[in-house]
Homo-oligomer: A and B are copies of this chain.
Amino acid sequence: MVDATQRRSSGGRPRDPGADVAILEAARGLLGEFGYDRLTIEGVAERAGVAKTTIYRRFPSKVELVTAAIDELRPPGLFPDTGSLASDLDAFLAAAEQGLRDPLAMRIIAALFGSIGQDDGLFDTYWRGYVEPRRASFRELFTRAQARGELRDDLDLEQFIDLVGGVVMYQAVRPSDRPVASRVRDGLEFVWAGVTPDGRSPFADATSDRMTRT
């Protein structure tokens, strides 16, 4: 999607593909370690074992560099069909729990939201490159569930994805001692009554006391 590495077709020494890899890898590493603000181009150059100019030749700015670095993280196909909404969600939650332990993921979310309101297009790129693919995975997951009859037929999936996304994001971000996955599950319990045909939670072991937990 973002391909800052593009260049004119003919003539000249070809770009070192190893440099591309090294740069983006270094950028991701430093982003995970220090966060967007304290990531420096010179630091990336040093870690990648590359001259600063080699970076600037590919990425005109820090924003574009980080964008491209993150862009590669886009997962190919999340959420394989496990047979039921409940198990699909369980799989997702386990993966999310795992993924959010990676400091890089938090940094990316930080960089993503830190760019709100900036005019540099970083936020849009992030949204398209990072959020949208994950929404697409949810879309697939929920479409399957709808086909199975686990979700109401008249459910507006986009709005529902917004809702689930909000729950996940908020729980990912909010300080808490409990694991994210568990909190997300608790949060979604409120919703099933409105979205499932029978108003029941799809989770077999759903805590019956879900309304009273703290």
Give me the interface of A with B, judged by CB distance under 8 Å.
Answer: 35-37, 103, 106-107, 109-118, 124, 127, 152, 154-156, 158-160, 162-163, 165-171, 173-175, 183, 186-187, 189-195, 199, 210-214
Contacts and interface: CB of A to CB of B under 8 A. Distances in A.
A152 B110 contact: no
Given A113-B113, A114-B111, A194-B192, A187 B213 contact: no
Identical copies of this chain, number: 4
A106 B113 contact: no
Nearest to A117: B106
B113 A155 contact: no
B175 A127 contact: yes
B183 A189 contact: no
Contacts of A191: 163, 190-191, 194
Contact of A162 (B103, B159, B183, B210): B183
A110 B116 contact: yes
A193 B154 CA distance: 15
Contacts of A166: 166-171, 187
